[in-house]
Amino acid sequence: MKVETETRGIRTGMTGNAAVAYAVKQADVDVIAAYPITPQTVMVEKLAEYVNNGELNAAFVPVESEHSALSTCVGASLAGARVFTATASQGLALMYEILWIAAGLRTTIVMGIGNRALSPNINIHCSHDDAYAARDTGWIEFFAENVQEAYDLTLQAFKVSEDKRVLFPSMVNLDGFILTHSLEALNVLRDEEVREFLPPKEPVNPIDPDNPMTYGPLDLQDYYIEHRRQQAEHFRMSYPRIVEILNEYSEFTGRRYSPIKTYMLDDAEIGIMVLGSSAGTVRYTVSKLREKGVKAGVISLTLYRPFPVDEVREHIKGLKVLAIMDRSYSFGSPGAQLFMDVATSLYNVKERPLLFNVIYGLGGRDLTPDQVELVVNKALEVAREGEVRETQIWVGVRE
């Protein structure tokens, strides 16, 4: 059943995988190169169907590995095409080498990730290990909280990556199975609305035999660091443009997008920060605890790279304690990945909350309201005592 709703688009139901594929089809991509991996498979199966049924005029390149998938996308993007690929976990790890190259060569690839735990032991369910491992490579990383966001962020990712003031590839992360395989209601734009928001790609310096250029030369001690410096500066400068595009999409659709989402944070003393689909569970629990007078609030990130440092600094004002939840673990590090980002962002801020890190949900273990309540209670304890005794705790684990 399709009905009109208050935000723009047609009401329908889709899984996360299908929603991303639908957005990619509406974006009228030119080249898709992909290799199957659970839980991403349905995303690219759908796209292959669209191509083979003549609904999408694109080349579907069924490559023999994820390494070749991203390599093919690099070539296609440099040749001027709008390009999409998708992967998860081991597949993203196999792409790792090319992630740096895709970003450094300023390609505009958009990649869907069905976030999945890395082996061993082999597991097909959600962790954020894969997305975190890509954090240094120069990709823009979005995290979707639900199927609607997975769809919307995919369309926004193309606009962001191809923008002349950005020109960096983007990942749209959606939690494996929890979002990739869940059927949810969402609003999808009409094709002509997508075309209005996302015009065809205008490639910058594409491969052109009439204007030959050398892409990816050898770069030694005399220039490499300047080129990295330029890339760093461009990546930093892309941030305000990303925010502009999120705002533009928000106005266009009536669905609000920004790098950070907050919930009941204004008067909160306890904050919980989280990525991905868990945000809903955390909000639900916090709303229940609010009824008991617990002054807690939630910060969730839509944009993970470039990291929204200023917004994080802004939103922690007034918090006594911030619990940072990571669906991953970083061996030998002082904290897991999101924790380290936040701690680094806040170190030079005078008035800042006490921080601790929560490891949860690895390999698809459900995050329950009980676990969230435990985290809030821990935060209240830290607030009472005025010090952090355990920088990192695990929840939902049999010790």
Decide if residue 218 touches another protein (CB under 8 A): yes
Decide if residue 61 touches another protein (CB under 8 A): yes
Which tokens belong to 157?
Answer: 């990712």
> How many Cα neighbours within 13 Å face the side chain of 215?
21
Cα 32 from Cα 42, distance rounded (Å): 14
Decide if residue 79 touches another protein (CB under 8 A): yes
Q: Which is nearer to another protein, 77 or 127 (CB)?
A: 77
Q: Which is nearer to another protein, 17 or 77 (CB)?
A: 77
Q: In Å, how far are 61, 140, 339 from 159, measured between CA atoms?
A: 23, 12, 29
Cα 366 from Cα 349, distance rounded (Å): 34
Residues 94-123 contacting another protein, CB under 8 A: 97-98, 101, 105
Decide if residue 213 touches another protein (CB under 8 A): yes
Decide if residue 27 touches another protein (CB under 8 A): no
Q: Which is nearer to another protein, 39 or 138 (CB)?
A: 138
Candidate segments 78-86, 158-166, 169-177, 190-198, binder of another protein by CB under 8 A? 78-86
Question: Using the rule CB under 8 A, which residue among 223, 228, 230, 236 binds another protein?
Answer: 223
* 161 phi/psi in degrees, rounded to 5: -60, -40
Which tokens belong to 288?
Answer: 């229940």
Task: Give the closest residue to 79 by CA, choosing from 192, 191, 203, 202.
Answer: 203
Candidate segments 68-76, 126-134, 178-186, 283-291, binder of another protein by CB under 8 A? 68-76
Cα 281 from Cα 372, distance rounded (Å): 8
CA angle 168/112/241 to nearest 5° reads 35
CA 7, 9, 14, 17 dihedral sign is negative
Decide if residue 71 touches another protein (CB under 8 A): yes
Question: Using the rule CB under 8 A, which residue among 18, 20, 23, 33 binds another protein?
Answer: 33
Q: In Å, how far are 270, 386, 388 from 322, measured between CA atoms?
A: 6, 12, 11
Decide if residue 81 touches another protein (CB under 8 A): yes
Cα 40 from Cα 43, distance rounded (Å): 6
Taking residues 193 to 212 in sequence order and writing x for each that binds another protein by CB under 8 A, - otherwise, the string is: -------x------xxxx-x
Residue 16, SS3?
Answer: helix
Decide if residue 354 touches another protein (CB under 8 A): no
Question: Using the rule CB under 8 A, which residue among 80, 280, 363, 396 binds another protein?
Answer: 80
Decide if residue 31 touches another protein (CB under 8 A): yes
Q: Which is nearer to another protein, 70 or 376 (CB)?
A: 70
Is the distance from CB of 379 to CB of 272 less than 8 angstroms?
Answer: yes
Question: Using the rule CB under 8 A, which residue among 7, 12, 41, 68 binds another protein?
Answer: 68
Q: Which is nearer to another protein, 61 or 282 (CB)?
A: 61
Taking residues 135 to 154 in sequence order and writing x for each that binds another protein by CB under 8 A, - otherwise, the string is: --------------------
Number of residues that bind another protein (CB under 8 A): 45
Residues 281-320 contacting another protein, CB under 8 A: none
Q: Which is nearer to another protein, 208 or 381 (CB)?
A: 208
Is the distance from CB of 3 to CB of 11 less than 8 angstroms?
Answer: yes
The residue type found at 44 is V
Cα 244 from Cα 256, distance rounded (Å): 12
Cα 338 from Cα 327, distance rounded (Å): 9
Binding site for another protein (CB under 8 A): 30-31, 33, 57-59, 61-65, 67-69, 71-81, 83, 97-98, 101, 105, 200, 207-210, 212-220, 223
